Structure 1
Amino acid sequence: MNELIKPSNKIHTIDDAIRLSKKRLPKLVFDFIDGASGDDKLAEINSTALDQIRLEPKVFRNVENRNLSKKIFDFHFDYPFGFAPMGMTNLSWPEADKMIAKESAYNNIPTCVSMASSTTLEDMFTFSEGHSWMQIYIFQSEEFIMELLKRAEGIGYEVLILTVDVPILSRRARDDRNGFGYPFKIGPKQFLDFALHPQWSLTTLFKGAPQPMNYVTSKSGDQIFRRKESRGATDWNTLKRVREAWKGKLIIKGVMNSEDALKIKEAGADAIQVSNHGGRQLDSATASINALPLIRKALGDDFPILFDSGIRSGSDILRALALGANFVMFGRPLMYAIGADGARGLRRIINLIKEELSTNLGLVGLTDINEVDKKIIAEKFFKDIKY
Structure 2
Amino acid sequence: MTPPDAPRASRRRRKIVARCRSIADLRAAARRRLPRSVFDFVDGGAEDERTLTDNAAAFKLLRFQPKMLVDVTTVDMRTTLLDGPSALPVIVAPYGACGFSWPRGDHAGAEVAEAAGIAYAMSSTASVALEDIAARHQGRRWFQCYIFRRREITAELIARAEKAGFETLVITVDLPVGGNRERDYRNDFSVPFRYTPRNVTDFALHPEWSITTLRNGMPTLANLAAFGNVNDVNATASSVGRNYDPSFNWDDLAAIRDRWRGKLVVKGIARGEDARRLVALGADAIAVSNHGGRQLDGALPTLFCLPEIRDAVGRAAEVYLDGGIRRGTDIVKALALGADAVMLGRSLLYGIAAGGAVGARRALDILTQELGRTMQLLGAPRLADIGPHLIARSDLLAHLDPSIARTLLPEADASPAVARPEHHYEKDPVS
TM-score normalised to the size of structure 1? 0.95
Range moving further from structure 2, 227-236 or 317-326: 227-236
Shift of 1:225: 2.8
Name 1:73's counterpart in structure 2. Answer: 82
Q: How does 1:220-231 map to 2 (within 5 A)?
A: 224-226=232-234, 227=240, 228-231=242-245
Give the deviation of 1:382 after TM superposition.
2.9
Matched residue, 1:370: 384
2:280 equivalent among 242, 266, 274: 266
Aligned to 2:146: 137
Unaligned 5+ segments in structure 2 are 235-239, 406-431
1:52-67 to 2 correspondences below 5 Å: 52-67=61-76
Is contact 2:140-2:167 (8 Å) kept? no
Q: Distance in 1 between matches of 2:160 and 2:357?
A: 28
| Structure 1 contact 288–309 (Cα < 8 Å) conserved | yes
How is 1:262-341 mapped onto 2 (pairs within 5 angstroms)? Answer: 262-341=276-355
What corresponds to 1:216 in structure 2?
225
Runs of 4+ in 1 over 6 A off after TM superposition: 4-7
Distance 2:139 2:152 in 1: 26
Partners of 2:110 and 2:312 lie apart in 1 by 34
Map of 2:429 onto structure 1: none
**Separation in 1 of the partners of 2:297 and 2:255?**
29
Deviation at 1:302, TM superposition (A): 4.1
2:105 paired with 1:91: no
Which shifted more, 48-57 or 252-261? 48-57
Residue 319 of structure 1: how far off its partner (Å): 0.8
User: What is the rounded CA distance, in whole Å, between the counterparts of 1:150 and 1:342 in structure 2?
Assistant: 29
Tell me the distance in 1 between the aligned counterparts of 2:351 and 2:148. 32
Q: Deviations over 1:19-54 (max 9, x none)?
A: 121111000000000000111121111111012111
Determine if contact 1:138/1:238 at 8 Å carries over to the other structure.
Answer: no
1:110 aligns with 2:125: no
Q: Which residue of 2 is the match for residue 165 of structure 1? A: 174
8 Å CA contact retained: 2:118, 2:139: no
Equivalent residue, structure 2, for 1:176: 185
Closer, same or farther: CA 382–231 of 1 in aligned 2, 3 Å: farther
Is contact 1:70-1:370 (8 Å) kept?
A: no
Q: Which residue number corresponds to residue 155 of structure 1? A: 164
Give the CA deviation at 1:301.
Answer: 3.5
State the identity as a percent: 37
Q: Any conservation in 2 of the 1:11–1:345 contact (CA below 8 Å)?
A: no
Aligned pairs for 1:110-129 within 5 A? 110-129=119-138
Length-normalised TM-score, structure 2: 0.85
Alignment correspondent of 2:397: 382
- Partners of 1:318 and 1:357 within 8 A in 2: yes
- What is the CA–CA distance in structure 1 between the aligned matches of 2:22 and 2:403, rounded to whole Å? 25
Q: Please report how far the alpha carbon of residue 385 of structure 1 lies from its aligned counterpart in structure 2 after TM superposition.
A: 5.5
Q: Are 1:30 and 2:76 counterparts?
A: no
**Could you report, residue by residue, the CA deviation over 1:188-211 in whole angstroms, capped at 9, with x for unpaired residues?**
101100111111011011101111
Aligned mate of 2:195, from 186, 203, 206: 186
2:103 partner letter: P
How far did 1:141 drift?
1.8
Segments of 5+ residues of structure 1 without an aligned counterpart are none
Secondary structure of 2:183's counterpart equals helix
Q: Residue 49 of structure 1 contacts residue 385 of structure 1 at CA under 8 Å; is this kept in 2?
A: no
| Alpha-carbon distance in structure 2 between the residues aligned to 1:377 and 1:318 | 10
Aligned mates of 2:350, 2:324 — CA distance in 1 = 14
Q: Aligned partners of 2:72, 2:136: CA distance in 1, in Å?
A: 36
Change (3 A) 1:150 1:372: same
Task: State the secondary structure of the residue aligned to 2:122.
Answer: strand
Distance 1:210 1:370 in 2: 42
Give the match for residue 414 of structure 2. none
8 Å Cα contact 2:146/2:244 also seen in 1: no
1:252 aligns with 2:261: no
What is the Cα deviation at residue 131 of structure 1? Answer: 2.1
Tell me the CA shift for residue 222 of structure 1. Answer: 6.9
**For the residues of structure 2 that align with 1:232 and 1:302, how far apart are their CA atoms?**
28
How much has 1:139 moved relative to structure 2? Answer: 3.0
Q: Distance in 1 between matches of 2:52 and 2:357?
A: 25
Are positions 1:234 and 2:248 aligned together?
yes
Q: Deviations over 1:347-367 (max 9, x none)?
A: 211111000001101111111
Give RMSD over aligned pairs. 2.0
Q: Which segment is superposed worse, 24-33 or 238-247?
A: 238-247
Tell me how far 1:85 sits from its aligned partner: 0.3
Say which of 16, 22, 28 aligns to 1:13: 22
- TM-fit CA distance, 1:369: 1.3
Q: Give per-residue Cα distances to partners, 1:117-146, cap 9 Å, x unaligned.
A: 001111112333132100001232211111
Letter in 2 for 1:225: V
The alpha carbon displacement at 1:10 in A equals 2.2
CA distance in 2, matches of 1:174, 1:386: 29
Aligned AA (1:29): V
The alignment covers a number of residue pairs equal to 384
CA–CA distance in 2 between the matches of 1:302 and 1:313?
29
- Give the superposition deviation at 1:314: 0.9
